[in-house]
Amino acid sequence: MRCASSRPRFLLLLDGGIAAACLGVSLLVLLTSDAGPATAGGTAVAVGLAALQASCLLWIRRRPGYALAAAALAGVGLEVLCPQLGWLGLVAAPLSYVARLRPPRFSLVALGLLVAPTPWKLVTGDWRDMLLAATGLGLGWAVGELLRAQEQRRCEWERQVRAVERERISRELHDVVAHHVAVIAVQAVAAEDVFDQQPEQARAALGSIHVAARSALTELRAMLHALTADDGSDPNGPQPGLAQLDALVDAVRAVGLPVTLRREGDGEALPGGVQLSAYRIVQESLTNALRHGHATHAEVDVRCGGGVLRLEVVNDGSAPARRSGTTEGRGIVGMRERARLLGGTLDAGPLPAGGFRVRAQLPVGAAR
């Protein structure tokens, strides 16, 4: 699954924040507890071990097993110097990460290895301390496993959305390609009929065949990336394109959402598949603004130039509704898949000053 460019930075900040919180808790207990190290040297060693254990969270995503082992070893020292901190320090935090990142066959082994020595608490404390130690580890593992299962469900849902969207795209592109092939057939017959008597007219027909063939090849390249499926539907009429944006905007205005449409460049000369995807992206964006975002105004910018079709739909409402446990709505996933199948990109998200923006770039120069 692809991630947004800001995702690694977000994860680094998240891990850094959790590591800082763990270190803060450890230092608070070490420096204020009466059961802490008795000497300044012991306190310094304990602080260093706490910092080492917390820092493991900064690289645990790359090496979960090694990071957990380092955290556990640091925890052994913390257990000796300050048992009040918890079993092996705060090793439950890296254990939670391991459960989040690895399947149960791995994380359960790690859990068992950490729980097995908990009877040591009977030496330094009593059975309540041992029970708390085992419970803390179990809770840490459970939290990580719940997050892992949630992420797995989200990925499966997105795969289903992509599959459905690819089926629809395949049917629509099939109609576009079929149109070009029909044009080629008609023009070829016309050229054959007038080839001897009217060569100029035959040459014009051959030029039309050339244009239609190149456009059909563009659509076929996009179809190679989509799943071919037939649900038995028989859509009538041509598929919409950029020429139908005015009608789409008028329809949205008629139901109560003022929309401003701006155009730049000759977008209607683009391949049919690109126009179709652009139309669907604008349509879905306006639908989200109307139904889910409670917007009072929307702006649509369509710019074609430099071999790229740029789309931007901005409204002053909120983000579209999301399915529980997901980071994006179904419509956004479908729009992003449309852009990706054409070799383009699509970004969607709230604006800092309020409102929501969908921005797409669909390359058209290389495909022609």
Residue 368 confidence (pLDDT): 40
For the segment 167-181, the average pLDDT, to the nearest whole number, is: 64
Instruction: Specify the higher pLDDT residue, 17 or 293.
Output: 17
Tokens representing 156? 């499966």
Residue type, 326: T
> In sequence order, what are the residues at sequence separation of 6 or more whose Cβ sits closer than 8 angstroms to the Cβ of residue 204?
none
Q: Is the pTM of this model over 0.85?
A: no
Whether 38 and 46 have beta carbons less than 8 Å apart is answered as no
pLDDT at 351 over 80: yes
Residue 194 confidence (pLDDT): 72
For the segment 57-64, the average pLDDT, to the nearest whole number, is: 91
Residue 367 confidence (pLDDT): 41
Confidence class of residue 109 from pLDDT cuts 50, 70 and 90? very high
pLDDT at 133 over 60: yes
pLDDT at 123 over 50: yes
Residue 212 confidence (pLDDT): 67
Mean of per-residue pLDDT scores for the chain: 79
Q: What is the pLDDT of residues 177-192, one digit of tens each?
A: 655 666 677 677 777 7
Whether 102 and 124 have beta carbons less than 8 Å apart is answered as no
For the segment 204-217, the average pLDDT, to the nearest whole number, is: 70
For the segment 237-265, the average pLDDT, to the nearest whole number, is: 82
Residue 176 confidence (pLDDT): 59
Whether 277 and 219 have beta carbons less than 8 Å apart is answered as no
Instruction: Specify the higher pLDDT residue, 39 or 140.
Output: 140
Whether 92 and 136 have beta carbons less than 8 Å apart is answered as yes
Confidence class of residue 270 from pLDDT cuts 50, 70 and 90? confident
Tokens representing 63? 């090496």
**Can you tell me the distance from the alpha carbon of 260 to that of 262, in angstroms, rounded to the nearest whole number?**
7
Confidence class of residue 225 from pLDDT cuts 50, 70 and 90? very low
Which segment of 94-103, 127-136, 168-177 scores lowest on mean pLDDT?
168-177
For the segment 250-258, the average pLDDT, to the nearest whole number, is: 78
pLDDT at 227 over 60: no
Confidence class of residue 203 from pLDDT cuts 50, 70 and 90? confident
**CA dihedral angle for residue 42, residue 43, residue 45, residue 46, rounded to 10 degrees:** 120
Residue 224 confidence (pLDDT): 53
- Helix axis angle for 330-341 and 272-291, nearest 10°, is 170
pLDDT at 321 over 90: no
pLDDT at 233 over 60: no
Using a pLDDT cut of 70, give the percent of the chain over it.
Answer: 79
Partners of 260 in beta bridges: 299
pLDDT at 357 over 90: yes
Owner of token pair 């309020």? 354
pLDDT at 10 over 60: yes
**Can you tell me the distance from the alpha carbon of 264 to that of 283, in angstroms, rounded to the nearest whole number?**
19
The shares of helix, strand and coil residues in the chain, as percent rounded to the nearest 5, are 65, 10, 25
Owner of token pair 């009466």? 34
pLDDT at 220 over 70: no
Within the chain, strands assigned E span 259-264, 298-305, 308-315, 345-350, 356-363
Residue type, 66: Y
Confidence class of residue 366 from pLDDT cuts 50, 70 and 90? very low
Instruction: Specify the higher pLDDT residue, 74 or 217.
Output: 74
Tokens representing 260? 């401003």
Residue 122 confidence (pLDDT): 77
**Can you tell me the distance from the alpha carbon of 195 to that of 199, in angstroms, rounded to the nearest whole number?**
5
Among candidate residues 276, 46, 51, the one with its CA nearest the CA of residue 165: 276
